[in-house]
Amino acid sequence: MDTHDLLTIGEVVDRSGFPHSALRYYEREGLVTATRTSGGQRRYERGVLRKLAFIRAARAIGIGLDEVREALDRLPAGRTPTKSDWTRLSRSWRGRLDEQIEALVALRDGLDSCIGCGCLSLARCRLWNPDDRIGAQGDGARLLPPALRRPPVG
């Protein structure tokens, strides 16, 4: 871990695939850290690459940066995270993934039955009107499983 091992932002850009602007943004937001040279330029430890990979995967399944930060904050402060530290984090979003897959599959199945049965009547089709009681509930999407109520972000 001598100075030799530190990465410039350009190297991190090349090796992580994130643009400069995103790396600086993530630093401002407290997701990653960097030391500085005497001249003020960033120098990253190698470990940042694993963090960035984690961030990318988390983002890909729709987890917001706030939550990603919380997850990363749960990594041990003093020492380099071990395998089991990362495993614990990863396992936590494995559940999310399962939920999302399940939800998409449910949507697909509903769609299949729609296409197959030709029932496209609002009154009968499970997809268009899942249980004849649409509109009786609270805010947000009504015909989708919970895990799919997030994607339309706004």
Partner DNA sequence: GTGAGAGCTGAAGTCAGCTTGAGGTCAAGG
Partner DNA sequence: CCTTGACCTCAAGCTGACTTCAGCTCTCAC
Tokens 């530290």 belong to 85
Question: In what helix (H) or strand (E) does residue 26 lie, and over which residues does it extend?
Answer: helix 20-28
The full length of the chain comes to 154
Please list every residue from 64 through 103 that binds a second copy, using CB under 8 A.
83, 86-87, 90-91, 94, 97-98, 100-101
* From 64-72, 93-101, 107-115, 120-128, span contacting DNA (CB under 7 A): 64-72
* Minimal distance, residue 78 CB to a second copy, in Å: 19
User: Which residues is 43 bridged to in the sheet?
Assistant: 35
Classify residue 32 as exposed, middle or buried by CB count within 10 Å of its CB (0-12, 13-18, 19+).
buried
Triad 126, 132, 138: Cα angle to 5°:
105
Query: Which residues of the shown chain bind a second copy in the complex (CB under 8 A)?
Result: 14-17, 19, 46, 49-50, 53, 56-57, 59-62, 83, 86-87, 90-91, 94, 97-98, 100-101, 104-105, 107-108, 111-112, 114-115, 118, 120, 122, 127-129, 134-135, 137, 139-144, 148-149, 151-153
